[in-house]
A and B are shown apart, each in its own frame.
Chain A
């Protein structure tokens, strides 16, 4: 039985992450770029973190206003979040949809957000994996009367080769349609070299992220979930940029160094836990709470696979990061080749099939438990995400059946009104005591 460590002694060395401040600076810069996009003559595209925005690069400079990161930021400011929810509800919207998008839409109706006025986008690009993404894109495009494009993302995890080809063709053809469309609606010409550079950077950023996450399999874990939540933001905001690639190169080196020297995330690691789902962004302290029992959250499928972070099954049966073109010895030369490569990448890496498709979710969580050496799983039943709850109860049942300790807690990633701290902490206490 886990005992609360009243006098917590560090079992492992620990020290703050050098890259932490760089992550903060970079994040601030990227948000600033987004806010200033239009005055600097760049296109501003509103959408989500998972849209293939590398495809925008061929048009020249652009920035992305992504609902998930924007909503996550608003959620950290209680009074602004409440104002945004109320503004949205005043427009006749309910509380069912995605919590991130509800905050983004609320902020849009309110006309302001964390950095001043709500930025007016030039166009909206969305995709449809969960049911809130595409629908929210419609609302934004109509509010600003700007063009809208929506990608279709089929959700299937295990595919026969023929099915995979069908999916790759489907993605590739939509990417070609998008490139034609975006030239038409912006009146700009398209530069394939910039597209290729963006795809090279994007896939490299994801590759580096996957390698960093795999390093977290080490005992002791060099990072914890709380840190991963913060460190993934540049990946979501601007993974196609050289400065983001450079940041992850530096972070990878630092994390490798921590592993080599046995530097742990928190100094304690009696138990390794996985978390399933997004965090309640307004209460990230939750993720350090189990440390009083000597437990550390070593990650989640959410953080490991975020964006389009790709893994392939290696010769030992374990996940390995899928390599970007350069590491595979591939040189992308034409738009056709680049879009095909991206379509293959997104078919294989697809984040959504791991969270929104039950067979994919179960397989991935069990793999994560094994490969990240976790002794328990904490599942967030997230009132703010109709998507991520897909399969969560099945997951709980499957883990219990295999004797893997797990618990659920009910909260929301963005809406404090759906979160009551005391019962959640009580549940964690009970869970930890039962380990």
Chain B
């Protein structure tokens, strides 16, 4: 086993473990903390794929900003008795499990029996494509126009959020 493989497998195991823990934990705060661990491991996996920029942004945005928001909401909501969160087996759950199993089988088929050619191929420009320098270069040349459109998208979204937040509904 090469060094890369060792890193990959250890990260993968922790990722899967923490993902499962997110779902099975009774206490929502614990779930949220496991989700943070999950995000960090995913960030590590991005690093092994030469996607440094995505790795950093992933940790900054997801583990940093969004998770703090999650934890705040959970604490503010004050869910009280955590045992009530566990619901009984109903139709929704059965359908969910069926879909999950179907995707799992699909994944196994893809890894085991299907042609692995399509997923093992790596882009030839892989080493430098994930750096901030490269992303900055294409962002201001090839993707300049979509980048500018995004800025207007965000402007409109900010103003929309302000309008909605100011809103008072009279019944």
A binds B: no
Which B residues are within 8 Å of any A CB, using their own CB? Answer: none
Which A residues are within 8 Å of any B CB, using their own CB? Answer: none
